[in-house]
Amino acid sequence: MNFRLAGLCPNSITDGPGLRLTVFFQGCIRHCEGCQNPQTWPINGGDKADTSELLKSLAADPMLKGLSLSGGEPFLQAGAALELARGAHRLGKDVWCWSGYSFEEMLPWEDVRAELLKELDVLVDGPFILAQRSLELPWRGSKNQRVLDVKASLKKGEAVLLPGQN
């Protein structure tokens, strides 16, 4: 499936645990003040990419522990993100995702975005809020954001932090 790609990090050590393939999706309508990736905002910017090509890259490197979906806003291209997440799981990789939407905003969704949420292992949720910025938090930029165990959160119907996160 084709989608708009802002960039790739083929060997990231900062987007979740272990060595990871990070996919930065193009497009975000939130426009947080202080966003680190404003070049990802234009919906039609970036480059055309193909999910099957990226999955081939993921399969080709056995050192990669997981796939990280970032942006931009991955949920604006949920169909492509879902294909990547399912493909990563088939390869035995874990899937982390960063979104400007909160888990509570996502809960009522019933479309492909809900399928994507169900496929994730970990969600770092919520917009970047400059007034709550912190450099000391692993995996997130501001204190409002949370590192969530998605399966546990969906089972409980409310946000459940990944063990060890606060």
Residue 28 or 58: which CB sits closer to ligand SF4? 28
Kindly write down the DSSP assignment for every residue of 95-143, as one continuous string. Answer: EEEE-SS-HHHHTT--SHHHHHHHH-SEEEES---GGGB-SSSTT-SBT
Residue 35 or 80: which CB sits closer to ligand SF4? 35
Max Cα distance, the chain (Å): 41
Give the H or E element holding residue 29: none
Closest alpha carbon to 54 in 93, 18, 14: 93
Q: Distance between CA atoms of 43 and 127, rounded to whole angstroms?
A: 18
117-156 footprint of ligand SF4 as x/- string (CB under 6 A): ----------xx----------------------------
Q: How far is the CB of 139 from ligand SF4 (least distance, A)?
A: 13
* Stretch of 10-18, 35-43, 57-65, 130-138 contacting ligand SF4, by CB under 6 A: 35-43
32 three-class SS: coil
Does 30 help bind ligand SF4 (rule: CB under 6 A)?
yes
Q: How far is the CB of 72 from ligand SF4 (least distance, A)?
A: 5
Q: What is the binding site for ligand SF4 (CB under 6 A)?
A: 28, 30-32, 35, 37, 40, 71-73, 100, 127-128
